[in-house]
Amino acid sequence: MDMTTLSAQPGNNFTNRSTFVLEVQSNSIVNIFFIIGGTFIFILGVVGNGAVVWMMGFQMKLTKTSTWFLNLAVADFLCLLTLPLRIAYGALKTWPFGAVLCKMEIFVTFVSMYASVLFLTAISVSRCLAVKRPLWYRTRWTPLFSFMICVTLWLTSMILSTPYLFFTNLITGSNKTSCTVSYSLGEVAWNPLTDTVIRHQVSAVVARFFLGFLIPGAIIIASYITIGTKLKKKTINKSSKLYKITMATVLAFFICWFPFHVFNLFIALFSWFNGKVHHNFFIGYPLVFFFAYLNSCLNPILYSFIGKGFSRRFWHSLGSTFEQVFNDDFLHSSKSKSGRSLQLLKKEPTKT
């Protein structure tokens, strides 16, 4: 996706560099692994996230909690729709789909990435508020408020991804076409790399790392530290399915996207300070793409596994999980426990 600096020295042709890197990537075993693995990810992810969207969007009454997970599924589904283009790109060793789809494929992927991490952050903050300020959360957090937050998060994701519509270009040379984030505005086909391109690259990658990974991660960690502190003081069921699903979903996102962010950050900073990155290093790109796309198919599997296990049919397991988990908060479990305790105390006969 990102194409970074092999050499910033004058005379290093950008076209030859890009098509050469494409040749190195497409001939690697890692690329074959991405093509095969990506195909399975696409099938599992489209079926799983399609089921989530259908059940939550059309078969269940939306709650405060399920609204977040519905939008998360939509973000994953959108990301997976771009995967066949990426698989064909690796298999054909050239980009045959034109400039518009090139820009849209990368734009939609980054919109999905930002939307996923922002909705995971919203889930964590809302869980924190549900524990720390339960009365405020139940009375003030209305469906309209949830809708406004969802719209805001989607708009924010699009705004943060908009620069890639301008930084993404088709580069043609040696009978091959590369669809790449070149970090150059306008035509780049026969221009050597410049300090301006490297500055664009470093600025974009560092901003993406902080806004799409580090800062949301810090907010999520702070939220769950707060939740953990409250759980020690109250009789809230820490082992509830919603709590486990939320934690598993958050961990899956950060584990899967960590290689992508670190890989691009390393290349960008190395280019900034050294000016060169050996072309063999780019063989790793299909692998970091694989893990990034893998995250988009994991969530429905996690819902099913944590909710009911795989002993029953997937569809029944997923549907029953949603009914049990997402209506609504894990605070309900503490209320039901305390209610049962009170009933038992009332029924217990007094000793004389």
Q: What is the mean pLDDT of residues 303-332?
A: 56
DSSP state of 82: T
pLDDT score recorded for residue 257: 94
Question: Region 162-186: what's the mean pLDDT?
Answer: 83
Q: Give yes or no for a contact between 22 and 178, defined as CB atoms under 8 angstroms apart.
A: yes
Ordered by where they begin, the domains of the chain are: 14-347 (1.20.1070.10)
Statement: residue 269 has pLDDT above 70: yes
Q: What is the mean pLDDT of the chain?
A: 78
**Spatial separation of the C-alpha atoms in residues 162 and 155, rounded to whole Å:** 10
pLDDT for the residue numbered 11: 38
pLDDT at 306: 72
Q: Tokens for 213, please give them.
A: 């990974």
DSSP letters for 201-242:
HHHHHHHHHIIIIIHHHHHHHHHHHHHHHHHHHS---TT-HH
Q: What is the pLDDT of residue 190?
A: 43
For residue 243, the 8-state DSSP code is H
Asked whether residue 13 carries a pLDDT value surpassing 50, the answer given is no
Mean per-residue pLDDT for 249-272?
89
Q: What is the pLDDT of residue 286?
A: 84
Distance, in Å, from the CA atom of 217 to the CA atom of 281, rounded to the nearest integer, reads: 27
- pLDDT given at position 192: 47
The answer to whether residue 55 scores a pLDDT higher than 70 is yes
Residue 174 burial (CB count, 10 A):
14
**What is the structure's pLDDT at 291?**
94
DSSP 266-320: HHHHHHHHHSB--GGGGGGHHHHHHHHHHHHHHHHHHHHHHHT-SSS-HHHHHHH
Residue 53: exposure state from Cβ atoms within 10 A (0-12, 13-18, ≥19): middle
- Is pLDDT at 322 greater than 50 in this prediction? yes
Q: Among 93-107, 117-131, 226-240, 285-299, which is the least confidently predicted range?
A: 226-240
pLDDT one-digit tens code per residue, 149-172: 999 999 999 999 999 999 888 888
Q: Angle at which helices 83-92 and 98-132 pack, to 10 degrees?
A: 140
Query: 293 Cβ partners below 8 Å, 6+ apart?
Result: 38, 41, 45, 79, 80, 83, 86
User: Residue 44 pLDDT > 90, yes or no?
Assistant: yes
User: 283 or 325: which carries more pLDDT confidence?
Assistant: 283
DSSP state of 186: S
CA atoms within 13 A on the CB side of 183: 21
State pTM to two decimals.
Answer: 0.82
Spell out the residues 6+ positions from residue 310 whose beta carbon is closer than 8 angstroms to its own.
304, 317
| Residue 347 confidence (pLDDT) | 45
